[in-house]
Each structure stands twice: as C-alpha cells, then as structure tokens.
Amino acid sequence: MLSPDQTYQLLRALTSPIVAVTSAQDGKRNGMILDSAVRASIVPTVPRVSVYVHKFNYSHDLIFKSGRFGLHLLHTQQFDVIHKLGFFSGRDRDKLAEVPHHLGATGVPVLDDCYAHFECRVANVMDTGSSTCFLGDVVAVGFGASKNGAPTGEVMTAAYFRAHMSPDWRKTYEALLQAAQRFAEQHSRNIRAVTWPGVSA
C-alpha cells in the first residue's frame, strides 16, 4: 500500500497546464492561477472545460455569482503572471491592475498576453466540500494580442513551472500550498448537494 504522500506525488502527474482564470462581478475584476483545468467534452461543437476553485479564493465567489470565467493557457515566459495572480488574493489588492488585459465578449477580463484564451459560461457545478468544480461552455476563443491568429511559444505546464520557478518564490509557494491543503483536509468531507442556479445577469 502506498503512503498518502506517495499517492499524492503520483496524482501530481494529473495536474493540468498552468492557467490563469479571470472573473468579473459588480465592477470587480480578478485573476487567479490554476493547475486543475481539463477539457471536459470530446464534441467539437460543444467545447467545454472544467476547473476546481477552492472556496477560500476570492475568485470562487466572483465566478459563482457571475456564472462566467476566462481561462488562459500561458506560455513559458509568463512566470511573472503566475506570481502576480497566484501568490496573492484579489481581496487584498487589485491584481489585474498590473496585468494588461481588456474585457472580452462575455465581459470577463482577457489577458493581452497568453498562449490562448477561452471565455466560458458556467453550465453546471459540483461541490467537493473544499472547492467547487465549475463546468464551463466555451463561448469565445482567441490568442494573445500579438500572436496574429495563432499560438506561439510553448504552453506552461505544471511540471515546467515547478522545475523552473524562482528559488525566491518556492518557499512561499510551498507555504501557500500547505495552507490550501490544510483547508481542504478540514472541508473535503462536507460535500453539499448544490444545484446550479443559472446565470442571473
């Protein structure tokens, strides 16, 4: 039998590329970082993604209330965006003030620089106790502003990020991860039956 740590390390192989997830609600704009995004449909005419967002994150309530989010594949030169959006909460600072962006067709912030971006409308949710899994219909797609209609560079994978992040950031990253793990450990068993209310706006 594997130890919980060995199991966790094996499951790390299932983490997604690093993505930036943006949201907007009642004049507030925010962005965060995820490595829990997956393609959630095999049907080209029904493109879908899913993301897991912890309930303590500011983004969680913005996405839940607005029913929309922007998902950005990043390229391997975007460590600064990961640090700005993934190491601090939007409750404490206007993170997107430091990241060039514009509003997309659905009103979510779209980062000017990225590998590719997807604007999504929430189709359904699943409560995990500590987080919500948002299933999103992809309703608009594009590339970074300077990419001339095609992605360039390499996608920032979770493995690439972990192998190349600045040593200065690693200690903070590990501390934030451990705090999130403690929260998840406390709340993961308390799963509620949540019915997605639909988009109100």
In terms of CB distance, is 14 or 103 closer to ligand FMN?
14
- How far lies 27's CA from each of 129, 148, 190, in Å? 28, 30, 32
Q: Decide: helix, strand or coil at residue 185.
A: helix
Q: Which residue has the tokens 């509620």?
A: 192
Which 96-115 positions form the footprint of ligand FMN (CB under 6 A)? none
- Of the residues 22, 30, 66, 78, which one makes contact with ligand FMN according to CB under 6 A: 30
With respect to ligand FMN, which residue has the nearer C-beta, 96 or 116? Answer: 96
Is 78 a binding residue for ligand FMN by CB under 6 A? The answer is no
Selected range binding ligand FMN among 53-61, 112-120, 138-146, 189-197, rule: CB under 6 A: 53-61
3-state secondary structure of 178: helix
Residue found under tokens 């990225």: 114
Q: Is 59 in the site for ligand FMN (CB under 6 A)?
A: yes
Beta carbon of residue 113, minimum distance to ligand FMN (angstroms, whole number): 18
C-alpha distances (whole Å) from 146 to each of 90, 100, 134, 138 are 27, 13, 29, 22
Give me the least distance between CB of 1 and ligand FMN, in Å please. 27
Question: Exactly one of 24, 25, 32, 108 binds ligand FMN (CB under 6 A); which one?
Answer: 32
Whether residue 155 contacts residue 78, with contact meaning beta carbons closer than 8 Å, is answered with no
Q: Binding of ligand FMN at residue 33 (CB under 6 A)?
A: yes
Burial of 61 (0-12, 13-18, 19+ CB in 10 A): middle
Chain positions contacting ligand FMN, by CB under 6 A: 18, 30, 32-36, 52-54, 57-59, 82, 86, 88-91, 131, 161, 173
